[in-house]
Structure 1
Amino acid sequence: METLVSPATGGYVADVRPVAQTERIQSLDVLRGVALLGILLMNIQGFGLTEASLQQLVRNPHGGNYWLMTLVHVLFENKMRALFSMLFGAGILLFLAKSRTGSGMAAPELLIRRQLWLIVFGLINAWGLLWHYDILFHYGIVGIFLFPFNRLSPRALLLCAVFTGLIYSGKVYWKFTEQKQAYAKFQQVTALEKKNKKGKLTDEQKDDKSAWEGMVKESQYDRKKDKADVLAMRSDYASVWNHQAPKIKRMEAPFFYQIGLWDITSMMLLGMALFKWGFFSNQLSTKDYALLATGGLLIGQVMAWFSLPTYEMAVVDFTRYVSRNSLPVSDFLMPFERAFSAIGWASLVLLLYRLGIASWLWKAVRSVGQMAFTNYLMQSVLCTLFFYGYGLGYYGDLKLYQLYFVVAEVWLIQTVFSTVWLTYFRFGPLEWLWRSLTYGAWQAMRLRSNPQPTATAAILA
């Protein structure tokens, strides 16, 4: 029997067992660590540079920074986040699979509590730490709706994942057709102006013209606005908060409910299917992982390189992008490109892990993955304090390649911290807090002198 202390009453609660004393699935922790560290390869660009300055590299496609950005974009962008989402989906199944009768609540009820607290942490990450690309808020919402899917077969989960991915692609295509319609109306208005130079446009025609011109203007580089963005981000906390607030609102409301919801749902459902097939728990054969690594990366990277020209065209010449394409290839293929690539990367990692290559490295990465929740928020703390004005104020000051020295430093800090911390404690500090809030009882934190194997339950997938 394990005795815990209730944070609500301060009293002791007996036989509350949120964590079964079984071995962790180490391969899941390794993959979490890889995904968590890999996400920073893309996030560092948002932490340290304006979007406009990054797009300028695309408009001037030469030099090492352009090729570095292109390589990161093709190999890792959205792929590591997709893997993170898949692992979170697997974590939902792990959570629901455990007997939690000692807590006095059914597993679905505990899962909802867990997700609601994750939403709170996401709001803190976005509105407190001012990271506008936070994903915890989104994960918290989607996870609540996905727990009934745990009874589906792997094949049914896969079909649901494909279906939601197609919804994402459909919504992207819908938006693209609206852009094409706006451009067609603009052409009609300009043709009318040329034909009848003295004629006056109706209010509707003026709106049609200004609508398209607004879209084009948004896609163009504005040096003054870019400098103003950098200046705002180098200011005090209140100024940065006011500057980031519109971005945070856009990401947590319009973007999420229009597009992001379908992306995350698709990847989580795929992760649930893969977990039921034993993929994440290292149960497939070595040959299977080798084939999945080769096939997944080959297909995913072919799709990524194939879609790259349309991605760059949308940045360089928005009018040409809309007028010359019948399909927004880069966005349309995104759900499937990242799914194949994420499976390929995961298979490659599991293959190397199984073969015992650089075992010391995988042990460190596993520690990072076991503390993925803590490390995710730690990245926000470290990077905002380094780049934003209320910290060291390096925002917009470094070249793209220099950002990756910061990435290496953060990786080193997190691997060392996670390894040392887990020699003394069962959970990461925020994992412990999240569990305690979920179960309404303080969890045992320190490792005993004769430590029992730690738990299988997902910390943050």
Structure 2
Amino acid sequence: MKNRIGFIDFLRGFALLGILAVNLPYFSKPMYLVASLGENSTLLDSIGSWIVAFFFESKFYILFSFLFGYGFFIQIQNNPETDSRSRYFRRILGLGILGLLHGVFLFIGDILLSYAILGAFLWFLRNRSSSWLLKFSLFCLALAVFCRIGMSFAEVELKSQLETNLPRLLEESRKAYLGGFWESTVQRTKDTILSIPFLVFYQWPSVLSMFALGFYAAKNSILTDWENTKPNFKKLFPWALTLGILGNLVYTLHSRHILPENPSVFLKILYAISDTFCAPALTFSYVYLLGNYYNSGRSFTDRIWFETMGKLSLTCYLGESLVCTWIFCGWGLGYFDQIGSYIVLLLTVPIWIFWGMFSLVWKRTFTLGPMEWILRSWTYWKMIKIL
């Protein structure tokens, strides 16, 4: 692809590791147990869950959303032809179809369908000014705070209903996912439908905020001219890192039930604000540190690994889900609800490395990843050359 930005692909390759760390628990056990009070029975498993909460949860879908917005703005700018609108919406539709299939057959926490729905809105932001995009991004984050406050008040009622039905739900989930392909697919479809309110109210406002911020960054070439970007980022970094560490410490203590349950109204509001703004702050810190590393001589040996994974990010994302489903479902190895959080976290590394190696081998022969080829052929409505 012409005008491809190496650092964007580098960040995508890095983000695939973080997203896998967050997604793996939802493959390995019933979704009702993930981050629940009774999730872990050993200290090591609790530590594994805390690591995921502090370093990964809510940080990497934020990063991928930012990169999604950045990449789509570049695609729009690089395709000024009269049929660019039809191509854009064909791409969005193709992404949505892949997301729907992903949610039904592989993973209950699919983000691609959400990206397709919200991405359709991006087309109408392409000519907005930089200042408007920044204001809109902040507005969406404010909306995210209100949504999370509302979810925290609804949580008490949901918990009471869940406690009553939890033994039955857990038994149904274990039986289905340890059964055949059809049984696991039916259960995953049910779980995907049940997860929709969480996606809409918890993730969508933040995703849309990062889309707009990605548009802003692409419009101002923030990630392509690091020498000019670095001084401003350097000023923000100490504040972002401090906010990110403190806020995500609060998030970890709260989400992993170390702080007292049933907090006051004030604390619920504080948790919602902290969760909404501190995750992007830590994500910004990751981007700043990786930007310095990428633009230094030390990164040359690592670039090809991360960049190649980034170029095949759709294939790797779906491929990671395929491997995880095979490991945990009954039609595969059948380890569903049999591995603790610590081992599940450790599994992140070999699975990610496997898809990194796949990417390197694949790119020696082909110009596009298999899923990228399918999506691009659909977008351009013709068979794209892959060799």
Does the TM-score normalized on the shorter chain lie above 0.5? Answer: yes
The answer (yes or no) to whether the contact 1:33–1:372 under 8 Å persists in 2 is yes
Pick aligned residue for 1:146 from 114, 119, 122: 122
Q: Which amino acid aligns with 1:155?
A: S
Change in Cα spacing, 1:441 to 1:395, as seen in structure 2 (3 Å) is: same
The answer (yes or no) to whether the contact 1:289–1:351 under 8 Å persists in 2 is no
Pick aligned residue for 1:241 from 174, 182, 185: 185
Residue 41 (structure 1) shift: 0.8
The answer (yes or no) to whether the contact 2:247–2:279 under 8 Å persists in 1 is no
Residue 26 (structure 1) shift: 0.3
The answer (yes or no) to whether the contact 1:375–1:414 under 8 Å persists in 2 is yes
Change in Cα spacing, 1:178 to 1:289, as seen in structure 2 (3 Å) is: closer
Residue 348 (structure 1) shift: 1.1
The answer (yes or no) to whether the contact 1:304–1:330 under 8 Å persists in 2 is no
Q: CA RMSD in A?
A: 2.6
Residue 57 (structure 1) shift: 6.0
Change in Cα spacing, 1:267 to 1:220, as seen in structure 2 (3 Å) is: farther
Change in Cα spacing, 1:383 to 1:433, as seen in structure 2 (3 Å) is: same
Deviation readout 1:100-158 (Å, 9 max, x if unpaired): 53xxx43222111110111011111112x231100111101111111121212222211
Distance, in Å, in 2 between the alignment partners of 1:345 and 1:155 is: 24
The match for 1:43 is: 23
The answer (yes or no) to whether the contact 2:309–2:316 under 8 Å persists in 1 is yes
Pick aligned residue for 2:209 from 262, 266, 269: 266
SS of the equivalent of 2:268 reads coil
The match for 1:201 is: none
Deviation readout 1:159-205 (Å, 9 max, x if unpaired): 101101111211222344566xxx8xxxxxxxxxxxxxxxxxxxxxx
Specify every segment of 5 or more residues in structure 2 that has no aligned partner in the other structure, as ranges: none
Structure having the larger proportion of residues in helix? 2
Q: How many aligned residue pairs are there? A: 386
The match for 2:107 is: 131
The match for 1:226 is: 170
The match for 1:71 is: 51
The answer (yes or no) to whether the contact 2:148–2:201 under 8 Å persists in 1 is no
Pick aligned residue for 2:96 from 119, 140, 152: 119
The match for 1:7 is: none
Name the larger-Rg structure.
1
Change in Cα spacing, 1:79 to 1:391, as seen in structure 2 (3 Å) is: same
- 2:249 paired with 1:305: yes
The answer (yes or no) to whether the contact 2:108–2:195 under 8 Å persists in 1 is yes
Pick aligned residue for 1:378 from 315, 319, 336: 319
Q: Which amino acid aligns with 1:438?
A: T
The match for 1:24 is: 4
Alignment of 1:59-458 (within 5 A): 63-101=43-81, 105-127=82-104, 129-177=105-153, 212=157, 215-218=159-162, 222=166, 225-252=169-196, 254-283=197-226, 284-313=228-257, 320-321=262-263, 323=264, 325-446=266-387
Q: Which amino acid aligns with 2:222?
A: F
Distance, in Å, in 1 between the alignment partners of 2:40 and 2:347 is: 24
Identical-pair percentage? 23
Deviation readout 1:282-315 (Å, 9 max, x if unpaired): 43344444444443232222111133343344x9
